Each structure stands twice: as C-alpha cells, then as structure tokens.
Structure 1
Amino acid sequence: MISVSGSRVRVELVGGGVRTCQGDAQVGGMVYVQGSQITGVAPNLPVVVVEV
C-alpha cells in the first residue's frame, strides 16, 4: 500500500505501476486486487516474479 484515504487505496503492483482501488487496507500491507477492487488481505511473504 502506498496510501489510504477513506475507502480509496493507492496500491503498488508487483509488476510495476500504481492503481487506485476501493476497499479496506493499511499502509504497508499487502492485498489481493481484482480490477479496481481489493478482494482481501494477502500474507506478507517474499515476492518472486518469474517471466515466461
């Protein structure tokens, strides 16, 4: 999370980029995002990106 303002949350995406989403989250936390909606809290695990 980059910032939270009410129900608007700025999320930094794993592949790069930033998206403004609707939902409940805390700054510094990790969440699951579908479209522009936060669908849940993700566990705080290491991120591994594999390109195919």
Structure 2
Amino acid sequence: PEEIIEHIIIHELAHVVYRNHSKQFYNFVSLFSKDYKEKDRWLRDNSYILNLFR
C-alpha cells in the first residue's frame, strides 16, 4: 500500500539524522508518520508479501 511505502521512506530518511532506533529516532519519525506504530505492525504482519517481490 502507498502509505506503507511512504512510511518506509520516512523511516529510512530518519536514519540520516539518527543512525539507530532510539526514542529520539521514533519521536522524529512520528513528526512525519503519526501512526508509525500501526504501520510498523502492518510491516511485521505482512512482511511475507514483500518477500514475494524479491
């Protein structure tokens, strides 16, 4: 889904500022992806779908 792709891009770009998954990292991500926890959960639950495109 488009919103998941957008979330992945936000997540990866946040690593330019924070090179880890610290509280500061997720606070930064939340500025751009308010429901990031829900989207992270979707990715965990559906990662097998993404593996189909490898």
Higher relative contact order (CA 8 A, sep 6+): 2
Q: Which has the larger radius of gyration?
A: 2
After TM superposition, is the score higher than 0.5?
no
- Calculate the TM-score normalised by the size of structure 2: 0.26
